[in-house]
Structures are given as C-alpha cells and as structure tokens.
Amino acid sequence: MNGEGKPCIFITGGGAGIGLATAKLFARNGWFVGIYDCDDASAAAALEALQREARDRSTDSGPDVGCCGRIDVREPASIAAALEDFRARGTGKLDILFNNAGVLSVDPFEDVPLNQHHQHIDVNAKGVVNCCHLAFPMLRDTAGARVISMASASASFGVPDFATYSATKFFVRGLTEALNIEWARHDIQVSDIWPPFVSTPMVTNIERSTAIDKMGVELVAEDVAAVVWQAAHGKKVHWPMTAKFKMLMWFIKFLPYAASRAMIANVTGYGAGRERRER
C-alpha cells in the first residue's frame, strides 16, 4: 500500500474546481488524496499536478501524494470499484469521504429539460447516498472518520431558477443532519459546507442569473477548500460561508415566512412586477 502513515481523503469530482483545490490543500498538508472524477483524464491531470508540486517541495524523487481514477456517482458499481482502488492503492483507511461531485442548471423550472432535473437528483442527491452507503464499511473501520458533503447556500430556502438544484441541497442538508446523529455511534463525524456562488466553471458558465448578479461571486475554489479543511478538524454540522450569506440565513431563520419569501423573490428577480407580467 502507498501513503503509509498518512491520513486519507477520497474526493468525488476531484478533477477540477473545489475538488481539485481541496486535493491540493490536503496533499500539501501531508494527506494521501484520492482524486476521482467522471472525467478520468481530468483526474489524472490533477494528480500529476499534485505530484509535480510535491516533487518541488521535497528531495524525494517520488513523493506519495495519492491516486486517481474514474467514478460515476450515479452508478454503485463504479463507486465500489473506485473505493476498492483507493483502498488498495492507499493505506486501507478512509479518514474523509468528501462528496463534492455535483451538477447545476439555472433557468425557470419549466425551461430546464426533464432529463436535466433527473441528472440533478441522480448526481447531487442519489450520488451522495450511494457514496455514503458504499463507503460506510471503510469509514466505520477507520477511527475518527468523517463525511463532508457539498451543500449550498440554496439549502436554506428554495431558490427560484435553481429549483431542483436547491431541492437536492436540502436533501444533502437533511441527510447530513440525520447521519450526524446516527453515525456518531460509529465515531463518524458528518457535516456539510454551505457556500453561496463560487467562481468555478459550474457557475461562471451560467449565461444569466439575477441571483448571481445581486449576490455576486465572492468566493473561489480555494476559499471553499479552506473551509473543508476546517470541517475536517471541527465539530460543527453545517459550515455556512461569507458574512453576506450568514446574514441572509439569520433573516430567513427569524423573519416570518412571507417576509423571507419576499426577500428571496426580490434577490432572484421574481418580485411582484415579474409575477404580474408573466401571468
């Protein structure tokens, strides 16, 4: 086995964006990283970049930073194969499962093709269930193991134009809260990360969004990776990000529902004027 003595993290969607930034941060801090992605070429390129960085920092000609491979979180057989590959090539432990793989479409609900709604559910929700369920034996057998999943600011209130995406993040929130209680008996800490918009291809490729225009894109992938690192060493269940979003969460929590609804409608461009025009 490789990475002897190192803690190990298994990352889905690790070939780019938040997954890659997280892999880099953990590798720099001495972790053995498993970079798994639906695009195996991206995963391989990501691992090679980490190996180059490690060689630059070390006199060791072949530093052991991790492994990579293909994963489709919609397919249990693909996940099982990736986890077995990680187990065999790593230390046999799974200190952290980082459920990062996700997809996003932004448009009014009826304008998003049905197959894309299904893809959101299959990747963002069922994919997390699949990974947690199949990784459980390794997590259970690793002392102090953790599951960290990517939720979203949209897990705080259903967001227009992000309807199904938002719903899947509510699912991640609910699953996280339940497993945080259930799996405590197995010494497994379960938590999730709640960023608003992050400057990754998933967001920057969106052609239009009133919510993005009004809220802005204040975060980069490295900011989220830093919070994943905090979650890897902390006890909180939910990790919301940015002062602006934390304030929005406070209003949603304590304002009457009608006021929260009006605020979200305004932020996303669905105020009364738009509602009347579209009737």
Across 57-188, where does the E strand assignment appear? Answer: 66-70, 96-99, 146-150
Higher pLDDT, 54 or 80: 80
212, part of any domain? yes
What is the pTM for the complete model shown?
0.89
Up-side HSE of residue 70: CA atoms within 13 Å toward CB? 8
**Whole domain around residue 33: which residue ranges?**
8-242
Q: Is the pLDDT of residue 250 over 80?
A: no
11-47 pLDDT per residue, tens: 999 999 999 999 999 999 999 999 999 998 988 998 8
268, part of any domain? no
Mean predicted confidence (pLDDT) in 131-137: 98
Distance from C-alpha of 20 to C-alpha of 47, rounded to nearest angstrom? 9
Mean predicted confidence (pLDDT) in 133-153: 97
* pLDDT score at 110: 95
Residue 102: count other Cβ atoms within 10 Å of its Cβ: 26
The CATH number of whichever domain residue 198 belongs to comes to: 3.40.50.720
100, part of any domain? yes
Distance from C-alpha of 70 to C-alpha of 48, rounded to nearest angstrom? 15
β pairing state of 96-99 and 146-150: parallel
Task: Kindly list the distances between the CA atom of residue 105 and the CA atoms of 39, 164, 174, 202, in Å, as whole numbers in the listed order.
Answer: 19, 9, 22, 9
Mean predicted confidence (pLDDT) in 56-72: 78
Residue 96 structure tokens: 């952290």
258, part of any domain? no
275, part of any domain? no
2, part of any domain? no
Q: Based on the structure, what is the number of domains in the chain? A: 1
218, part of any domain? yes
In the three-class reduction of DSSP (H, G, I as helix; E, B as strand; rest coil), residue 75 is classed as coil
Confidence of residue 277 (pLDDT cuts 50, 70, 90): very low
